[in-house]
Structure 1
Amino acid sequence: MRRSRPFWRLTPAERRVWDAYPSGDWVDLRTGDCRKDDPAEGGRWGRDRTVRAGVLTALLLGAQPPEDGRVAGLRLAGARITGLVNLSDANLTTKLHLLNCHIGGTIALSDATTKGVRFRGCDIHRIRAARCTVDGLFELDSCTVHAGVRLDNAHISGQFRLAGARLFAPRSDSSPSESFKSDPRRPYSDTEQRERGWDQHHWALWAGGLTVDGGAFCRDMRTEGGLRLIGARFNSGLYLQRAVIKGTGSQAVYADHMQASSVECSEGFTAEGTVRMRGARISGVLSFNNAVLGDERRCLHLSHMQVDELILTPASLKGEVNLAYSRIGVLLDNPRAYPGDVRLNGFVFESLRGGTPFAHRLGWVAKDPDGYRPQPYEQLASWYRRIGHDQDARRVLLAKQRARRGTLRLPSRVAGYLLDLAVGYGYRPWLAGAWFALLLAAGTIIFAGHPPAQVGLDERRVFHAFPYTLDLLVPVSVFELRGAWEPVGWTQWVANTLIACGWILATALIAGGTRVLRPSSA
């Protein structure tokens, strides 16, 4: 025998829902007219399409037993649901499926355990499902949620679907119970709370600690407010292709320490605000291919993360990119696409893709706003050596020494200029040979026209300008011609200059060669 209804009166619409629940049949209250069935206009629907939230709650909590041989369930289309759908702390054993409904109140599933929850094409005021457990699918495809979705520390064993959904952050005049107000355990001002991401008024999706075992499909989603996904786990990937995230605060996506098998922010993904994934762990691909990323101060904050493959080829990129202390397996990017600063100190990668010209890659490591950092140069040089491009590796290390020179004091800077001019800090040893040949030729010509005087007259000697100049350039006299011939007049300055240049070239060659042969430079 069926239980008596816990309501004095049921409207015709409610009676249909009540009678259909035990068998799980659909109740469709739509008229067939697209304009009249638009859930956004559901507040105007009449009594014939209105169902009180209390009726639905009573059914889901067991007011009606299932029919023998049937699976009970609440399946309702085209209804106007009034009041608070309060299922917090409940243990629901039947599925909830609403299609094209208008829910003017809040759907509360906090701390609940439920089977699949599906809202498709609905217009909803707010969803609160913190710490809930969903054994199956949680769907909000094509829904509009006006005051945010809260799923912090929830667990969804199936898919999480937000394809085509429109989410809005709660207004600042929302219920105080839902706002992260000042707490004696967190003695921070409102401004400090906003900076730390605790102010819910900037988040359309508040889902820190969310775990999704199936895929999270958020393609074509639109939000007025950011996505807060700190510590979330997406075991089968997060897919945000063509999503448009308009952050009402400084950040569009806040996903520190997120874990995922892959993340697709691609194919027209647009973020107005910072995309922050500091400390994230992604075992597959993190893609920003053809994305539109724009924040004048900091566009991407991807520091301290680990990713198997990072595809950083956005259609538009504005602001700073932070990759500091991250470890990337494969990096596919275009260094010319970075309009602002790039933080690379501590950044480690195993492979580079994309066929980027050397000059553009070299300019990439020099974009750190904090100035000279040795590690990015060494990392890039190591990569070129691994692929057999030793010449490019030496050019990177030479650029490193030139950048370092700007941080030195004047005496060391002058010495650096001389070392660079002489042998390119040891990475261009052929320069020493070029300088030696130039000085040898100049000295030979000068002394051939203005030969020096013989020192000893006890024997007559024949002067040869070439070996004499060579003997002056070599730091240790080889031919013993310096003591046999004495330059006269202004050629004395030429001889002294050649001797000094010989010592400088030898010293620079030894110093540069030592640097090249050091294991740390390899």
Structure 2
Amino acid sequence: MFGISGWTRRPGGRPPRLSPAERQVWDAYPAGTWVDLRTGDKDADDPAEGAGWGPERTVRAEVIAALLLGAREPEPGRTAGLRLAGARVTGVLDLSDATLTGKLHLLNCHLPEVVSLTDATTSGVRFRGCEMERLRAARCTVNGLLELEGSTVHSGIRLDNAHVTGQFRLSRSRLHAPGERSWASESWLEDIRRPFTETEMRERGLDQSQWAVWAGGLTVEGGAFMRDMRVTGGLRFIGAKFHGGVYLQRSVITATGPHAVRADFMESGAAEFSAGFTATGVIRMRGARVNGVLSFDGATLEAPGRVLHLSHAQVEELILNPASIKGEVNLGYSRIGVLLDNPAAYADRVQLTGLTYESLRGHWTVAERLDWLGRDPDGYKPQPYEQLASWFRRIGHEPDARRVLLAKQRRRRGTLKPTGRVWGRLLDSVVGYGYRPWLAGLWVAVLLTLGTVVFGAVRPAQIDPDEVRSFQPFVYTLDLLVPVSVFEQRGAWEPVGWTRWLAWTLVASGWILATALIAGAARVLRPSGNS
């Protein structure tokens, strides 16, 4: 006699009180063969209608648990496993703390109660096209594939600190966040909730009722494939590690809390929120690290206030080319290798302070990049301008770099006191803060022309009539403009009448031009950190 979980074998290896469907499962387990209870009628086999399936398609969860916990030995030369299609599984399937050697594969099954793999170690778990209430698998180790592809989960998935050595598949699934009734009774959460109000719980992201997937600290060695999902609630991947990347192309997430995705400090080989990905709610990836491409190409993102929070992140290549975006983007203090974006990627404000990048790609004009810098809600900060100018210099576009640095000084001018603003406007108009020295030459040419014409028509009086001198209006005007007399014309001739005002203006202009040129040159040559 052999007993496990209340099950006792009779001679012949079959326990008592098994229905015909359960007997098939019991007999098939040692060889790992399939038991298919489906009728072949598409509508009749829909797991969403599984509550109405009769006893001929019903298997108790305790029968499945007994088999997986060792009620039957594998056949020699075969791998034991539970492979079941088209069944209604009644009761809680509780495999917590267990070590399972046989694989669990359920196809098109109806599981109206919780499946628990908390702290379990398994060799592979697959729920394909199933209708499920909830999956709890915190701290679970899956040595192989964890799959819920095409399944509907009504009260969320819990995978915090789980470890999947193979792939994690959620493609084409339908996920819903749990309501208060589904999670308030979990004792682990009561300890977290006790110090906080309900509002504080939501603000801290501890309210599990808003998360369709609660998977902080999850590690997936293979790829995490979540394409074409429909999610009501959020995905919580704080501190998760996706070594093979995470892929959410064409998935649609409608947040029930503030966040559609919260993946602070996530590490991933790649991350695809692209090709029709849609999120209503904040995408928060603060401090995330993506060693490949992080793509929002063709995505639709919308949230009140901030829509994409990607600050303090490290990304090899960021593709920010959404189909539509509504809300603020935060890229502050992130390090990005290649940034491929376009002006439409920033429909509202964008935080850029501290952002560094090695390369910029996309179809932008310099004016559009300057408008991009001007959208920072933090106001004027020199670093974003210096970063953009440095990029233009690296690719050999020195005129564009000077244009950016000139825009920086003009933006800075608005932060100065009135006297500083007046001096700044003077520097800007005369030499473009040193970045447009040709302006000084233009002013000199205009003043030289004016003086030459005026003093040629109204000749100054010679101060010493006995001295023999030839008057040259051009040279005289030039000598007035030069702060220190070079041609000795200024001391030999005295302007008469109203031309005295022109002479004084030329002398003052000469000093102003010289001072502006020196100040502008000093500004250009000064290290950027002190600009």
TM range (shorter): over 0.9
User: 2:163 corresponds to which letter in structure 1?
Assistant: H
How big is the shift at 1:481? 1.7
How big is the shift at 1:197? 0.8
CA distance in 2, matches of 1:280, 1:181: 26
Please show how residues 400-439 of structure 1 align to structure 2 within 5 Å: 400-439=408-447
> Which of 371, 377, 392 is equivalent to 1:384?
392
Q: What 5-or-longer segments of structure 2 have no aligned partner?
A: 3-8
Please name the residue that 1:288 is paired with.
296
> Which of 311, 314, 326 is equivalent to 1:306?
314
Retained in 2: the 8 A contact 1:182–1:190?
no
> Which of 308, 327, 340 is equivalent to 2:348?
340
Please name the residue that 2:6 is paired with.
none
CA distance in 2, matches of 1:230, 1:293: 20
Q: Does 1:492 align with 2:500?
A: yes
Please name the residue that 2:448 is paired with.
440
Query: Secondary structure at 2:318's aligned position in 1?
Result: strand
CA distance in 2, matches of 1:351, 1:7: 68
CA distance in 2, matches of 1:203, 1:180: 16
For each residue in 1:265-309, what CA deviation from the matched residue of structure 2 results, as whole angstroms up to 9, or x when unmatched?
110111111111110111111111111111131111000011111
Q: Does 1:46 align with 2:54?
A: yes
Retained in 1: the 8 A contact 2:141–2:164?
yes
Q: Does 1:457 align with 2:465?
A: yes
Q: Does 1:518 align with 2:531?
A: no
Q: Could you tell which deviates more after superposition, 200-209 or 454-463?
A: 454-463
User: 1:282 corresponds to which letter in structure 2?
Assistant: V
CA distance in 2, matches of 1:178, 1:435: 78
Please name the residue that 2:107 is paired with.
99
How big is the shift at 1:154? 0.1
Please show how residues 472-511 of structure 1 align to structure 2 within 5 Å: 472-511=480-519
CA distance in 2, matches of 1:72, 1:180: 34
> Which of 56, 64, 67 is equivalent to 2:64?
56
Retained in 1: the 8 A contact 2:183–2:209?
no
Query: Secondary structure at 1:466's aligned position in 2?
Result: helix
CA distance in 2, matches of 1:491, 1:121: 95
Retained in 2: the 8 A contact 1:170–1:202?
yes
User: 2:230 corresponds to which letter in structure 1?
Assistant: R
Query: Secondary structure at 2:105's aligned position in 1?
Result: strand
CA distance in 2, matches of 1:7, 1:187: 49
Please name the residue that 1:31 is paired with.
39
**Cα separation, partners in 2 of 1:358 and 1:179, compared to 1, 3 Å:** farther
Query: Secondary structure at 1:250's aligned position in 2?
Result: strand
CA distance in 1, matches of 2:241, 2:343: 31
Query: Secondary structure at 1:118's aligned position in 2?
Result: strand
How big is the shift at 1:184? 7.0
How big is the shift at 1:442? 0.9
CA distance in 2, matches of 1:506, 1:180: 74
> Which of 19, 40, 59 is equivalent to 1:11?
19
How big is the shift at 1:398? 0.5
Query: Secondary structure at 2:185's aligned position in 1?
Result: helix
Query: Secondary structure at 2:332's aligned position in 1?
Result: coil
Please show how residues 258-337 of structure 1 align to structure 2 within 5 Å: 258-337=266-345
Q: Does 1:193 align with 2:201?
A: yes
> Which of 141, 152, 162 is equivalent to 2:149?
141
**Cα separation, partners in 2 of 1:185 and 1:27, compared to 1, 3 Å:** closer
For each residue in 1:358-406, what CA deviation from the matched residue of structure 2 results, as whole angstroms up to 9, or x when unmatched?
2212211221011101001000100111111111111111111011111
For each residue in 1:92-140, what CA deviation from the matched residue of structure 2 results, as whole angstroms up to 9, or x when unmatched?
1100000000000000000000110001000000000000000000000
**Cα separation, partners in 2 of 1:175 and 1:384, compared to 1, 3 Å:** closer
Retained in 2: the 8 A contact 1:179–1:200?
no
User: 1:314 corresponds to which letter in structure 2?
Assistant: P
CA distance in 1, matches of 2:49, 2:87: 11
User: 1:211 corresponds to which letter in structure 2?
Assistant: T
How big is the shift at 1:456? 2.1
User: 2:185 corresponds to which letter in structure 1?
Assistant: S
> Which of 61, 71, 76 is equivalent to 2:79?
71
For each residue in 1:238-263, what CA deviation from the matched residue of structure 2 results, as whole angstroms up to 9, or x when unmatched?
01111111111111000000001111
User: 1:37 corresponds to which letter in structure 2?
Assistant: D
Q: What 5-or-longer segments of structure 1 have no aligned partner?
A: none
> Which of 463, 466, 470 is equivalent to 2:474?
466
Q: Could you tell which deviates more after superposition, 439-448 or 249-258?
A: 439-448
Structure 1 runs of 4+ with >4 Å offset: 5-8, 179-182
Q: Could you tell which deviates more after superposition, 292-301 or 162-171?
A: 292-301
In the superposition, the TM-score normalised over structure 1's length comes to 0.97
Retained in 2: the 8 A contact 1:73–1:94?
yes
Please show how residues 363-378 of structure 1 align to structure 2 within 5 Å: 363-378=371-386
Q: Could you tell which deviates more after superposition, 145-154 or 170-179?
A: 170-179
User: 2:382 corresponds to which letter in structure 1?
Assistant: P
Query: Secondary structure at 1:130's aligned position in 2?
Result: coil
How big is the shift at 1:185? 8.4
Q: Could you tell which deviates more after superposition, 305-314 or 64-73?
A: 64-73
CA distance in 2, matches of 1:40, 1:179: 30
Retained in 2: the 8 A contact 1:255–1:276?
yes
For each residue in 1:169-199, what CA deviation from the matched residue of structure 2 results, as whole angstroms up to 9, or x when unmatched?
0012324234875537862221111111111
Query: Secondary structure at 2:276's aligned position in 1?
Result: coil
CA distance in 2, matches of 1:497, 1:186: 78
CA distance in 1, matches of 2:308, 2:14: 55
User: 1:31 corresponds to which letter in structure 2?
Assistant: T
In the superposition, the TM-score normalised over structure 2's length comes to 0.95
**Cα separation, partners in 2 of 1:117 and 1:25, compared to 1, 3 Å:** same
Please name the residue that 1:226 is paired with.
234
For each residue in 1:29-85, what CA deviation from the matched residue of structure 2 results, as whole angstroms up to 9, or x when unmatched?
101000000000101111111111111111111112222222111010000011100
What is the CA RMSD across the aligned residues, in angstroms?
Answer: 1.7
CA distance in 1, matches of 2:344, 2:19: 65
**Cα separation, partners in 2 of 1:476 and 1:204, compared to 1, 3 Å:** same
**Cα separation, partners in 2 of 1:6 and 1:365, compared to 1, 3 Å:** farther
Please name the residue that 1:116 is paired with.
124
CA distance in 2, matches of 1:142, 1:93: 25
The percentage of counterpart residues that share the same residue type is 67
User: 1:351 corresponds to which letter in structure 2?
Assistant: S
How big is the shift at 1:514? 1.7
Q: Does 1:167 align with 2:175?
A: yes
For each residue in 1:187-242, what CA deviation from the matched residue of structure 2 results, as whole angstroms up to 9, or x when unmatched?
22211111111110110000000000011011101100000000000011101111
